[in-house]
Structure 1
Amino acid sequence: MSSAPENNGRRRFLTLATAVVGGVGAAGVAVPFIKSWNPSEKAKAAGAPVEYDASKMMPGQLVRVQWRGKPVYVVRRTKEVLAELENGHNDQLRDPGSKEPQQPDYAVNSHRSVEPEFLVALGVCTHLGCAPTYHAGDFGEVVEGVKNGFFCPCHGSKFDMAGRVFQNVPAPLNLEIPPHMFKDGTTLLIGLDEGDA
């Protein structure tokens, strides 16, 4: 009978040792598994904000910038284009007041941007993802009475110079406006706004 307490002590030791080794092994497997859920450095870089120096842009010029693998259209609007947006064609638009959440709150205005002079919009049609073409001065052939805008060649959707969609076209929503801000007077930061900075 003297061996029974000795065996109980040995059993407790072996059970405890097995539990500790099993716990360390489980942690050794869990840590890399959980780390694999985090985005890679390449993915982090792809989603990072993009800087663009807009100081050399001419009035009326469009520049394409890549952000998160998508084209972003940056257009330096002329005074005539801004007047067209203020005075113009709201009765022809599907969502003239930008009530659908296709833009940050600070871009819910007639020019849909943080600075009236610059349009910053994803160059992706909200119908099926084609790239709309930019028409400066010759858009009247597409929409009567409107001189400037974007036309999607895939299925005929039309957008004004604030990226607002016209009625009776396949695109259901305005062009998406990404978060953006100006770090200084001319350096545009796409993917970040003052609330995030």
Structure 2
Amino acid sequence: MANEVVDHGRRRFLTATTAVVGGVGVVAAVVPFIKSWEPSARAKAAGAPVTVDLSKIESGQQLIVAWRSLPVFVVNRTKAQLDALPSVDSRLVDPKSDQGSADQQPKYAQNENRSIKPEWLVVVGICTHLGCVPDYVPVIKPEPFDPDWKGGFYCPCHKSRYDMSGRVFSGVPAPKNLQVPPYHFVDDKTIQIGVDPKEAG
């Protein structure tokens, strides 16, 4: 009887061990399979679309996401920032965003807001001078680099300035507005960068 009890205990131990090892094996096999469904790092770098949840960006805040290995600024502009845009038109190189190629500013960004929806700015965060990443300086107040600052982006490398629509100021090294990447609204709370509205439709 004692031997029989020992055998049952051993049998339970071996069954449990086999189940655990088998479970680990299944997980080890499934994880790479599921991972294979995701875009590769190379595909992401090549321009796979990036989805952004706008509900996490409060009014006046900026979120930086990576698309094609580039920083993309997504800004939820305040009413004050939007209201101030016309006041800097006379100081800008391209206030109507009608210069440059369609890659630099697509048709849906050829307006004062340079956006599909006024409050949401989506631009590539690379200075059009020598490729530095500008700082987001959102507060409308005098700054050492501009006593009449209305909010926008300031490049610390060579002092280029852009307004809250990413439009470049005259008299700075940068020649063009910040690039607007292709993007569209999936719904009121989500955008997808990398696909323009026509392609999404």
Aligned partners of 1:138, 1:158: CA distance in 2, in Å? 14
Identify the residue that residue 143 of structure 1 maps to in structure 2: 146
The answer to whether residue 155 in structure 2 is matched with residue 158 in structure 1 is no
Deviation sequence 1:51-73 (CA, Å, 0-9, x none): 01001211100100000000000
Deviation sequence 1:78-126 (CA, Å, 0-9, x none): 00011011x3111100111112232111110000011111110000000
Identify the residue that residue 58 of structure 1 maps to in structure 2: 58
Alpha carbons 2:44, 2:67 under 8 Å: kept: no
Q: TM-score, normalised by structure 1?
A: 0.76
Aligned partners of 1:140, 1:149: CA distance in 2, in Å? 12
Aligned partners of 2:147, 2:118: CA distance in 1, in Å? 24
**Aligned CA-pair RMSD:** 1.5
Q: TM-score, normalised by structure 2?
A: 0.74
Identify the residue that residue 131 of structure 1 maps to in structure 2: 133
Alpha carbons 2:81, 2:140 under 8 Å: kept: no
Query: Percent identical across equivalent pairs?
Result: 49
Gap runs ≥5 in structure 2: 1-38
The answer to whether residue 187 in structure 2 is matched with residue 184 in structure 1 is yes
Size of the aligned set, in residue pairs, is 157
Deviation sequence 1:123-151 (CA, Å, 0-9, x none): 00000000000102155313233320110
- Tell which structure's C-alpha radius of gyration is larger: 1
Which moved further from structure 2: 133-142 or 75-84? 133-142
Aligned partners of 2:164, 2:141: CA distance in 1, in Å? 10
Identify the residue that residue 70 of structure 1 maps to in structure 2: 70
Equivalent AA in structure 1 for residue 167 of structure 2? R
Residues 138 and 169 (structure 1 numbering): CA distance in 2 closer, same or farther, change over 3 Å?
same
Residues 124 and 135 (structure 1 numbering): CA distance in 2 closer, same or farther, change over 3 Å?
same
Instruction: Give the 3-state SS of the residue equivalent to 1:120 in structure 2.
Output: strand
Alpha carbons 1:164, 1:175 under 8 Å: kept: yes
